[in-house]
Amino acid sequence: MGPRMVLVVAAVLGLVCGAAVVALAVRRPEPGPVAVEARAAEPYAVRVLRAWDARRSRAYAHADGAALADLYVAGSRTGAADRAVLRGYRERGLRVTGMRTQVLAARVLHESERRVVLLVTDVLVDAVAGDARRARWPLPHDHPSTRRVVLVRDRGSWRVAEAYAED
């Protein structure tokens, strides 16, 4: 399998893990006072998801399999798929940077102290794969997808149990 196909497959599999949005034709401006206020008004469950997505992005940028595994509950199929994608990049000497999940829509289906269930439409944007020689390849453009994302509070952190595609 060639490097280009690996990047395509990895991008698609990475979306299975759950959390992301629609690539816009123009870049979103940096958050200003209105955007900050809007984000502060977001439901707690959506803020949990955004923080989880940021930790996932860091794990990919550092090619840190242990940090990525720690984002999922033990036995999560979604987590296993995400770790396989990261492992594929690492085996080819690549790191994914700039990965950002853009949430287009999110609806809280359930929220308690230990469990959050969201219906999320999102898209992965700005991800780039790079190698040790500083060659860089933008990952293929993603398309919006909708998933039911189940997060549980486990050992003091929010972890994804599973993310299920919604039809």
Alpha carbon distance 104, 92 (integer Å): 32
What is the sign, positive or negative, of the torsion defined by CA atoms of 16, 22, 24, 29? negative
Strand-pair category, 128-130 with 95-97:
antiparallel
Domain residue limits at 96: 3-165
What mean pLDDT do residues 1-13 have?
39
40-66 pLDDT tens trace: 578 999 999 999 999 999 999 999 999
13-32 confidence digits (pLDDT tens): 343 333 332 222 223 333 43
- Domains in the chain: how many in total? 1
Residue with tokens 């060659």: 135
The pLDDT of residue 33: 40
pLDDT of residue 27: 32
| Dihedral angle sign, alpha carbons of residues 8, 30, 34, 157 | positive
- pLDDT for position 140: 85
CA angle, residues 73, 65, 164, in degrees to nearest 5: 40
CATH number at residue 85: 3.10.450.50
Q: CA 26, 166, 104: angle at the middle one, nearest 5?
A: 25
Average pLDDT over residues 144-165: 96
pLDDT digits (tens, 9 = 90+) for 91-133: 999 999 999 999 999 999 999 999 999 999 999 999 999 998 9
